[in-house]
A and B are shown apart, each in its own frame.
Chain A
Amino acid sequence: MDRRETIKSLFVTSLAGGLVLQSCAPDKVDSVEVVPADKTNVYGRTPEEAKRDKDLFSEIYFTEHEIETIAVLSDIILPSNDSYGSATDAAVPDFVEFMSKDLPYHQLPLRGGIMWLDSQSNKLYNSEFVKCTHEQQISLVDRIAYPLDAKPEMAAGVKFFSLMRNLTLTGYYTTEMGIKDLGYKGNQPNVWDGVPDDVLKEHNLEYDPEWIPKFVDQSKRDVQAQWDDDGNLIS
């Protein structure tokens, strides 16, 4: 069993009194394939960069308890819905683990934040955060999830939760599932011919009629450019 599956199974077993994993609708995108550690050199790495990646993958920073806490929090931040999977379905804990080694300045705020959360949880419920009921977890999270309303004594927790929220959002929306969820349509060959008409209308905008003749005529994009002596395009 690799580490990712370990994380996933730990997470599922920790949910006894908490979240119920929803059954998947047929068209639901509910998990992602994350490139395994030994196949990361698919994105144009120099030899030094490939080695750095490999070294980081060989290290483990978070303890199992910490990664379990990160998993629970990330799924509170982004639970699954009818169409898409949750943060852990998008392997967010793996991403947070990697980033803590790639950008070590994340290590202390995350480790300390998890300890802070457990301290609060122990005070309130006499239990570590991950062992609390879902209702107890949500009740605690509600005290740190809203920066403008949180009590001053919760400031450290607010900071930690904001960091977790940021990493969870980035970790999720940079996966294939998250990109589909977001609706990003690019990163593929296409021919840009301006803002769609219905969008222009919706925003009460139009292309200046004087500018229209200046723009590229996409039907002639493959015709080799030629100019007259004054620099006027004639092809």
Chain B
Amino acid sequence: MIEDYLVLSVILFCIGILGVISRRNVFTVLMSIELMLNAANLAFVAFARLNETMDGQILAMMVIAVAAAEAALGLAVIILLHRQKGRLDSNVFSLLKG
């Protein structure tokens, strides 16, 4: 019963990872990260239900707060990147190339 929720969380998490590695659009990458955070949240809440304590829910709340902060900063960075190059392609920003 609870397993189903956890399996759903794993599936959503993996799709998030796939989004990060297969997309070059920085918006999509950011949203994929949000998706992964949500998957983690789901696992927290499911475990909270399983153990019948509310600590997992509180952790989920904190993750939501962190995710909101991350979204705000991530979008700020995206605006900066767009301002610098006028593109949203993550391959354009390859200053680390060896």
Query: Do A and B come together as binding partners?
Result: no
Binding site for B on A (CB under 8 A): none
